[in-house]
Structure 1
Amino acid sequence: MKTKSRRYNINNLDELHKMVCSLKDEGNLKKEALISDTKVYVKQFSLGNIIKRYATPSAFLKVDEKLNISSSVMSLVLPLVMNSTIFRGSGLITKALVGLASGKVGKSLDAEHLSGIFNSVKSLFTGSKKKKPKEGYAVDYGIPPDSETY
């Protein structure tokens, strides 16, 4: 690897010391710039940043319009859950029909639908926590009612 050699016009010792100081300053500036750029680059590809960028429900569960991971999983899991819980004692034909129907329903579900269903069920149990303001409550500003400014 060949390095470029610089030609400097240095005539005395003072010019040499000035040039050495300026080259050290230039080296320190380049070193700081390289360190800061490296930190930004490493932070860009850190585990936390990758999780933050790619592990969102919309990015993780729906790669593109044709491949929808959440609907594929639901079309496989939903028939198994239905047949093992609700239709446990039913016959083979009933389990097959439930498997086909729940597989079709599972394919239509995606992450947005599941989160909407979850939020609506959750709101039924939690209810609204809004406090109603008390009517007829006078605000006290610190002025006694029998003062002259009242």
Structure 2
Amino acid sequence: MKKMNRRYNINNLEELHAMVASLKAEHKQKGELLLKDTRVYFHQFTLGGLIKKYASSSALLKIDDKLNISSSLMSMVLPFIMNTTLFKGSGFLTKTLVGLASNKVGKSLDAEHISAIFNSVKSWFTGSKKKKEKEPQYVDYGIPPDSETY
């Protein structure tokens, strides 16, 4: 690390005290900035940061376009879910037909459809968090703009 040599033109004690105070303030400000930057850097490597980076919808869509993971996974999982939940007491023939139909539906689903379904289900439980900000309204006090009291 390169050491900086600063030269100050200090002529009396008051200037010295003022310079010491300004250097202490600068030191404190740089320390807080360094701490903030360090927190941001380490936040990238926490579990939440990694999930935000790699499990976001855009990252999943990029991976899914290449490998088509979501449709192959849904073609295996969807028949299992349908037969174990909705058609639990059904016979062999019904379960086979449901398995074939849900297999075809699962192959047609891609990451965009799955993320849209997930977002719509999530919106049922979370509600809207977006609040409309009220714009400050102009208040007219009856003083004309070219008045001397304006």
TM-score, normalised relative to structure 1: 0.48
Which is higher, the Rg of structure 1 or of structure 2?
Answer: 1
